[in-house]
A and B are shown apart, each in its own frame.
Chain A
């Protein structure tokens, strides 16, 4: 029973870590994209001038 619990624990842990890593990367990239778009917005009027 110990091995069964350990094996299922490992698979669920691997799944959790993978899903969490996707979530964290998505959050970081979303905020970075927002910051880059802000920077682009600020530069764009200067380009027009």
Chain B
């Protein structure tokens, strides 16, 4: 077995263990929030997976952004593979965050969806990255496709910091969990809640790195397949 495949297996196992610990931290270790209505306390535990999903999506888009810049500088296919892999992961985490957030919104805000600044900007992020893959699918020539995707990926990322800061800059009902300014809708995590929150965030970072490594490995296999097809004039 090659070293990279063995490393992938170790990462896969680490991610599985980390996610099981995260479930324990979110459902057992974390105490009930005292600053919310008792009827919605069980649903409040959604934040332990909702927030890490959202932060992982932003991390994924940041990796895609850096990889896109590196592709334009070096023209090395490696960075195109990284950008594509990270963007795909970003979409998966965004979908998980939006749906889980919507399920928290129903008991907390009495609606599954509202055009709040955070929800609106995050939806725009999702649509921009879906368009990223539509753009890739529309260009046949690999070099041009990678170049156009890299330029688009850099501009698409501008929506991510805007989404992150939207709950701090604008009047919104979405709570600010960490480092909340005075005039915002603070959630306020107690010490034990913060421990569980950090554990789940670390678990999601391990999960993100693992999925990214697997997706990059798949990207290299796709490149190899394309190279073989070219040699055979397919």
Q: Taking beta carbons and an 8 Å cutoff, which residues of A are in contact with B?
A: 1, 3-4, 6-8, 10-11, 14-15, 18-19, 22, 25-26, 29-30, 32-33, 36-37, 39-40, 43
Contact = CB atoms under 8 A, between A and B. Distances in A.
B49 A8 contact: yes
Given A7-B46, A22-B218, 14 more contacts: A3-B107, A4-B43, A7-B49, A7-B103, A8-B49, A10-B96, A11-B100, A29-B218, A29-B225, A30-B221, A33-B225, A40-B228, A40-B231, A43-B232
Contacts of A15: 92, 96, 207
Contacts of A26: 217-218, 221
Contact of B92 (A6, A7, A14, A32): A14
B42 A1 contact: yes
B53 to A, nearest CB: 6
7 shortest interchain CB distances as A-B pairs: A36-B228, A7-B100, A3-B43, A7-B103, A7-B46, A14-B96, A1-B42
B214 A36 contact: no
Interface string B191-216: 00000000000000001000100110
A10 B100 contact: yes
A36 to B, nearest CB: 4
Interface string B69-100: 00000000000000000000100100110011
B106 interface: yes
Interface residues of B, number: 33
A30 B218 CA distance: 10
Interface of B: 23, 42-43, 45-46, 49-50, 53, 89, 92, 95-96, 99-100, 103-104, 106-107, 207, 211, 214-215, 217-218, 221-222, 224-225, 228-229, 231-232, 234
Nearest to B220: A29
Task: Indicate the member of A8, A11, A29, A33 with the most B CB atoms within 10 Å.
Answer: A11
Nearest to B45: A4
Contacts of A36: 225, 228-229, 232, 234
A24 B221 CA distance: 13
Nearest to B53: A11
A45 to B, nearest CB: 15
A33 B214 contact: no
Contacts of A39: 232
Nearest to A29: B221
A4 B232 CA distance: 53
Contacts of A1: 42-43
A19 B207 CA distance: 11
